[in-house]
Structure 1
Amino acid sequence: MARHTILGKGPIGRTLATHLADAGHDVHVLSRSGPRPGAPARTQAASGGSIEHHRVDGTDADALTARTGGSVALYNCVNPAYHRWATDWPPVAAALLAAATRTDAVLVIAGNLYGYGAGHPHMRESDPLASRETKGRVRAQMWADALARHDAGALRTTEVRGSDYLGPGAEAHAHAGPRMLTPLLAGRVLRPIASADRPHTWTYLPDFAAALARAAELPDAWGRPWHVPSPEPQTYREVAERFAKAAGAPTPRISPAPLAAVRLLGLVNPMMREIAGVAYQFDQPFVTDDTASRRVLGLEPTGWDTIVTRTLAAHRAEHPAGQPVGARR
């Protein structure tokens, strides 16, 4: 049993906390809001592990250091609002670097694929981080700063990069989360961004958590990035059809939002402006190569049938709505 500290309690942070606690570890989850209202600050897992929530300002290096002391790993699972990445990420990233340096905890960064930028339809970890888009440049700089500290011997770090995630715990904004499942089960039209027919890598949240935990404990994983082992690429349409078939719902009706319309909305809506900046991820093939991570981390992705079954069950438990509209009997 070991102690692990996670900054951030969004879908990735929550899934990782459960994964580590189920493995028998004591997990401290740090966030601006602390425990959820009405929920206990500490819960015990059947394995003997536990999850304990603390209210901490992620930009406060001293507070992070105090809470991270004694931990074998410090995980960066923070995710500011899209339109605030350029302002909100740098102070958090700097505080995490300081805390990891002072405590000797392995800094494990939950990353994404934005840093590669457009024009990389089949991404490998060795590809340059050449994004010209703001969010991609922010993430690329975060990794460059952490790697420079690692190479200088000041700390140990690794970054685990996932694609668009899905699975139990995915929130409303996830492309294959409630944003897809709620209208699909209600028989409404689905409105993905740009295209529904480009091959795309999707990352299952429990697989993301398993990769983060494994990278933290494996010295061979430190000092470089890894792609989360993910199932075979699927288009948005293929994923929607998988869910519809499993739910007994009609074939999905899909009408993508034109990129020009998204850009037009971005003139008045900061969030839509940022979405337009990374719309290439659905307008072009967006596929990762996880060959190296499967070999070194020793992990295999969850299969699509299991992903669909478990995700659909979790969605129905959280959003009970009865029989899908037009369901087959």
Structure 2
Amino acid sequence: MTRHVIVGKGPIGSTLARQLADAGDEVLVLSRTGSPSAPTTPGASTEPPIRHAAVDSADAAALTRAAQGADVLYNCVNPAYHRWPTLWPPIADAILAAAESTGAVLVTTGNLYGYGAGTQLMREDSPLASGETKGLVRAAMWREAERRHRDGRVRATEVRGSDYLGPGAQAQSHAGARMLEPLLAGRPLHPIGAADAPHTWTYLADFARALAAAGTTEAAWGHAWHVPSPQALTFRQLAVMVADAAGAPQPRIRPLPMTAVRLLGIGSPMLREVYAVGYQFVEPFVMDSTASQGVLGLTPTPWDTIVAETLAWWGSRSADTPSAARR
């Protein structure tokens, strides 16, 4: 039985934990509180056995103790968006130290920020050329992990996904509650920046599967990989597809211009950071996952399945917790 230790219990970490536990593996989730996360499907009668423990993700010694005996260690932490430059370096260093001390394979949940504006089509060999603060933070994290891997100190890989959607995607997801709730109610949608730029969307379940595969695929170690994701869609195309599948009215889409995001950011640290990466919403933001599909042995979930499973989850969630969509 493989022993997995996951640092972080957000949507990605929680989805990964359930997949691994369903496969019969031993799973320990480390988080600040140590309490279980909400189940993906409210009202489910059974949940796979997953242990939880409270650990400070920036405490290398505590992480090392908790990860003793782990075969794979996953970094699924998600610090406060506007505090990445302060919070990420000690967390990344502590998790690297725990992987080095325990010998566990380190799999980091990554994103596409490091490539920067104007990349157009992002591949794993695209340069990490971002000049934006959050992109610089993520690029520095990977370069340090890659350096230690080359030096033989750790076995490390990173799996990068785009904006995720699907069962478990919460309010922070651009295609989660902020799309589904108004769309299904026939109210206008207000995407950031634009609605007609091609955009890669990553299915949350595919993200978790890619992380798990990278942790047990030796050929993946020492490199970064993209989550196998379906063909890019604009926000408008995605909204229309979901509306058609749900039998909902055709979406009324009124994008929030980046100038408005900038003004709102005066009083909101979060929106200031959203404005800083506004290129992701107004220009093509498309990644290629051909190479990773070959190495990880995975293919993306088709769009019709993604939409059907997302709507089924949303309906179950709304029925069991009617106030959840308003939080």
Alignment of 1:80-99 (within 5 A): 80-99=79-98
- 1:319 Cα shift? 1.7
- 1:316 Cα shift? 1.4
Cα distance in 2 for partners of 1:27, 1:59 equals 20
Identify if the C-alpha distance between structure 1 residues 38 and 284 changes in structure 2 by more than 3 Å, giving closer, same or farther. closer
Map of 2:138 onto structure 1 = 139
5+ long unaligned stretches in structure 1: 40-44, 322-329
Secondary structure at the counterpart of residue 50 of structure 2 = strand
Map of 1:28 onto structure 2 = 28
Question: What per-residue deviation string (whole Å, max 9, x for no partner) do you get for residues 251-291 of structure 1?
Answer: 00000000111011112211000000111111000111111
Percent sequence identity is 62
Map of 1:166 onto structure 2 = 165
> What count of residue pairs does the alignment treat as equivalent?
316
Map of 1:154 onto structure 2 = 153
Cα distance in 2 for partners of 1:316, 1:34 equals 29
Cα distance in 1 for partners of 2:81, 2:282 equals 19
Map of 1:261 onto structure 2 = 260
Identify if the C-alpha distance between structure 1 residues 256 and 37 changes in structure 2 by more than 3 Å, giving closer, same or farther. closer
Cα distance in 1 for partners of 2:150, 2:36 equals 38
Alignment of 1:1-329 (within 5 A): 1-36=1-36, 50-320=49-319
- 1:36 Cα shift? 3.9
Cα distance in 2 for partners of 1:37, 1:63 equals 21
Identify if the C-alpha distance between structure 1 residues 145 and 38 changes in structure 2 by more than 3 Å, giving closer, same or farther. closer
Secondary structure at the counterpart of residue 253 of structure 2 = coil
Map of 2:323 onto structure 1 = none
5+ long unaligned stretches in structure 2: 40-44, 321-327
Secondary structure at the counterpart of residue 190 of structure 1 = coil
- 1:315 Cα shift? 1.0
Cα distance in 2 for partners of 1:50, 1:155 equals 29
Q: Which amino acid aligns with 2:319?
A: P
Cα distance in 2 for partners of 1:23, 1:221 equals 21
Secondary structure at the counterpart of residue 95 of structure 1 = helix
Map of 2:325 onto structure 1 = none
Contact kept? 1:22, 1:46, Cα under 8 Å:
no
Cα distance in 2 for partners of 1:129, 1:37 equals 33
Identify if the C-alpha distance between structure 1 residues 26 and 139 changes in structure 2 by more than 3 Å, giving closer, same or farther. same
Secondary structure at the counterpart of residue 225 of structure 2 = strand
- 1:46 Cα shift? 8.2
Identify if the C-alpha distance between structure 1 residues 126 and 38 changes in structure 2 by more than 3 Å, giving closer, same or farther. closer
Cα distance in 2 for partners of 1:208, 1:268 equals 33
Question: What per-residue deviation string (whole Å, max 9, x for no partner) do you get for residues 188-242 of structure 1?
Answer: 1000011100111000011001100000001100000000000111000011111
- 1:154 Cα shift? 0.3
Question: What per-residue deviation string (whole Å, max 9, x for no partner) do you get for residues 82-138 of structure 1?
Answer: 101111111100100100000000000000000001011100110111111111110
Map of 1:327 onto structure 2 = none
- 1:320 Cα shift? 3.0
Secondary structure at the counterpart of residue 66 of structure 1 = helix
Cα distance in 1 for partners of 2:104, 2:4 equals 9
TM-score normalised according to structure 2 size: 0.94
Q: Which amino acid aligns with 1:306?
A: T
Secondary structure at the counterpart of residue 233 of structure 2 = coil
Contact kept? 2:9, 2:37, Cα under 8 Å:
no
**Superposed CA RMSD:** 1.8
Q: Which amino acid aligns with 1:152?
A: D
- 1:38 Cα shift? 10
Contact kept? 1:122, 1:288, Cα under 8 Å:
yes
Secondary structure at the counterpart of residue 319 of structure 1 = helix
TM-score normalised according to structure 1 size: 0.93
